[in-house]
Structure 1
Amino acid sequence: MSTCIVVGAGLAGAATAWQLARRGHDVTVLERSTPANGEGSSHGSARILRYAYPDPFYARLVVDARREWDELERLAGERLVTSTGSVDFGADRDPAALAAVFEEVGVDHELLTGAEAAARWPQFDFGDRGADVLWHPDAGVIDAEAAVAAMLRLARAGGARVETGRPVASVERAGAGLRAVGADGRAEEAEKVVVTAGGWLPGLLGDLALPESFLAAFPPLQVMQENAYHFPYRAGSDGSWPTFIHGIPSMLVYGLPGGRDAALPGGRTGLKVAEYNGGRPIRGAAAQSGEIDPANRARVTAYVRRTLPGLVPEPYAETTCLFTNTPTEDFVIDGVDGITVASPCSGHGAKFAPLLGRIIADAASGERAAPARFRVSRRE
């Protein structure tokens, strides 16, 4: 077994640490702040777990990931995924094509007309009464912060050490091994290093002792500061909201029950609504301001007023988060000479977390390469 350092304790890092520790590796996690902190991409209680992808590769991956979530919940002894079901609608979402993928992959679903969907979910305005609306009941909402805590707890039970307040500035070669060095000079040595640094990765990538050929082939990463809003439910509509994705020519909008993120006095909650990649590009996590874009707020609020009559179109809470995008929105899991770099985000990585931990651990330990689609050297 190997000594391993995992850089970053978000969803991907926590999952990787757990998978490595349960196999008997000596694991140290170095987290720049605290696990699932608000400056990253894994904080809060509300991420969508949905199966609807136009690409069967990712739809199958969700099927596999759900089994991993079930195992994680069993071992952690807590519920981390709340079932809600999900609807996909809008011409740019192409529900019929998504339904065809579900048929191929074997995901339970219904293809409804807009009129049928409106009768079932009157809190939505689905527009064209004859248009397709896709429903799949096995979708849900992930408690991201609780999932990170559960996986780190299991990693510690397997012998892992989790160090907080330990930002890594570089990774160096140290004899036959590697050394992760912080800005304060503190260092940890190991045989293998896994970097799951999220929005901090673009600023770190060139300091990881990776070959120039690997760096030249690495896809460019674009960090986005995204905006999300919580809208209150109207009276009588707060108990039956599915998650949703709505594709229209001007924007792609998603929504989900907000959980703790949307808590109101008296135990009431609201719906989290956001425009996918509707934020602004930044140079990396260090450049984030946490400031909401007023134009985006106005655009999403206008959308809610038009399309979600079950909500009061006045956000009572708002926040920012980071997406770290590749040009194709495919994940990156690859490495060389003992260093594995993982960037499984592009705004849709959370649902795969425990499965990605397994894939990253396989790659880092040399047991199995990541799928060709995730490798820097692929493009096959």
Structure 2
Amino acid sequence: MTESSEYVVIGAGLAGAATAWQLAARGHDVTILERTVPASHDGSSHGSARIFRYAYPDEFYTKAVIESKFLWDELDRASGLELITPFGAVDYGPERQPEHLARVLAAAGVEHELLSAAEARARWPHIAFDTSVLWHPGAGVIDAERSVNAMIDQAVTHGARLLTGWNVTSVDKRDSGYRVSSETGEEIDAGNVIVSAGGWLPGLLERLGLPAGFLAGLPEITVRQEQAYHFRYPESSGGEPWPTFIHKSAEIQTYGLPGGRDAGFAGQKVAEYNGGKFIPSAAAQTGTVDPENRRRVVDYVQKYLPGLDPEPYAETTCLFTNTPTEDFLIDRADGLTVLSPCSGHGAKFAPLIGQWAADLATGTGEVPARFRQATARIGAN
């Protein structure tokens, strides 16, 4: 017998878990289908360390972070957890434009300081700043895995069902909605489907029953296998936590943050932004670190992060699923909503992405037009 559900959410990463939470909290019948387990280690939402920050060159995103933080606080209250640990953030480098970022934060009313390189080096001598520096203390580190599980718990508390080990192979349009099928022959009929498959999305798109015009109007979706490395704090540091950072020069863009339990709380997690190789979809990931990327990041640490041991004591791979503009994808055709890719910066917006997706799927609200490129292109033709 084929089961049924009013809403089916495919994927239990940050975006999917947030959407399920929002839908279930509104009283809808929700089923969550997860290929393995929530916050799967071969997905994009695993581990304990993602940057939460307000600094964006585009004021739209800074305002969205402020809106998202209200929802993070709501989740903290509901779960009894502190899912964002405050560390503050420094932004610097000739291509990062700290002065512009400071103007955006000032306009949004976000606490910040603009420091000279010398002032910043005096405060954080373990970082070799090469330009003026934006500091904003409200930034921190998101525990991604605990956040996913907290949102899933809230969804289940409000009546949602979670089905794990459920690998979706197709979504077929029916007169009354959609039939979702798994590789083991299970089926669920749904009035509405929300697809939040992250790096698996490119391999699913042709099997979702999307209208041809909508499918053609979607932005290009690319997947990278990224690498991140953990560099040990020196014993002389006294355990003082480092801030998160984004450093952007003409040669390389890097980011770093306290590594959390991912690597024993012993060091800073450092990575090159979009430094990984392109792969067709998440199914093609190897989990093998690229030695050239390791060399670039080690060279960077030696030059710019003198306070760290330049030999990584742990390393890992992860997935970035990107659009060309790095805007999110939250769009809908008939009763099928497609959301993500989050382009390497979506974790901090997860509760808000869930709210936007739930609004769109239920028809009770709209999402920003920049996230609905396929719908916009159809309307323009």
* Range of TM-score over shorter length: over 0.9
For 2:138 and 2:20, the matched residues in 1 are separated by 28
* Cα displacement (A) at 1:235: 1.7
Q: What is the letter of the counterpart of residue 271 of structure 2?
A: A
For 2:250 and 2:90, the matched residues in 1 are separated by 18
Instruction: Select 1:276's aligned residue among 252, 273, 277.
Output: 273
Any idea what the Cα deviations from partners look like across 1:252-298, whole Å, max 9, x if unmatched?
Answer: 000000111020xxxx5111000000000000000000000000001
Q: Is the 8 A contact 1:262 1:271 kept in 2?
A: no
Any idea what the Cα deviations from partners look like across 1:6-48, whole Å, max 9, x if unmatched?
Answer: 0000000000000000001000000001110111100000000
For 2:367 and 2:288, the matched residues in 1 are separated by 36
Unaligned runs of 5+ in 1: none
Q: What is the letter of the counterpart of residue 67 of structure 1?
A: F
CA RMSD of aligned residues (A): 1.1
* Cα displacement (A) at 1:240: 2.8
Q: What is the letter of the counterpart of residue 376 of structure 2?
A: R
Q: 2:259 maps to which residue?
A: 258
Q: 2:43 maps to which residue?
A: 40
Q: Is the 8 A contact 1:12 1:344 kept in 2?
A: no
For 1:304 and 1:64, the matched residues in 2 are separated by 34
* Greater CA drift, 100-109 or 270-279: 100-109
Q: 1:76 maps to which residue?
A: 79
For 1:49 and 1:216, the matched residues in 2 are separated by 33
1:183-198 correspondence runs (5 A): 183-198=183-198
Confirm or deny that 1:378 pairs with 2:381: no
Instruction: Select 1:53's aligned residue among 48, 52, 56.
Output: 56
* Cα displacement (A) at 1:100: 1.0
Confirm or deny that 1:126 pairs with 2:123: no
Q: 1:65 maps to which residue?
A: 68
Q: What is the letter of the counterpart of residue 164 of structure 2?
A: T
Q: 1:355 maps to which residue?
A: 352
Unaligned runs of 5+ in 2: none
For 2:82 and 2:54, the matched residues in 1 are separated by 19
* Cα displacement (A) at 1:176: 1.1
Q: 1:220 maps to which residue?
A: 220
For 2:306 and 2:365, the matched residues in 1 are separated by 49
TM-score when scaled to structure 2?
0.96
For 2:44 and 2:342, the matched residues in 1 are separated by 8
What count of residue pairs does the alignment treat as equivalent? 372
* Cα displacement (A) at 1:344: 4.1
1:99-178 correspondence runs (5 A): 99-127=102-130, 131-178=131-178
Any idea what the Cα deviations from partners look like across 1:86-127, whole Å, max 9, x if unmatched?
Answer: 000110101001111111211110000001001110111113
Q: Which runs of 4+ in 1 moved over 4 A?
A: none
Q: What is the letter of the counterpart of residue 153 of structure 2?
A: R
For 2:146 and 2:240, the matched residues in 1 are separated by 22
For 1:335 and 1:371, the matched residues in 2 are separated by 13
Q: Is the 8 A contact 2:241 2:258 kept in 1?
A: no
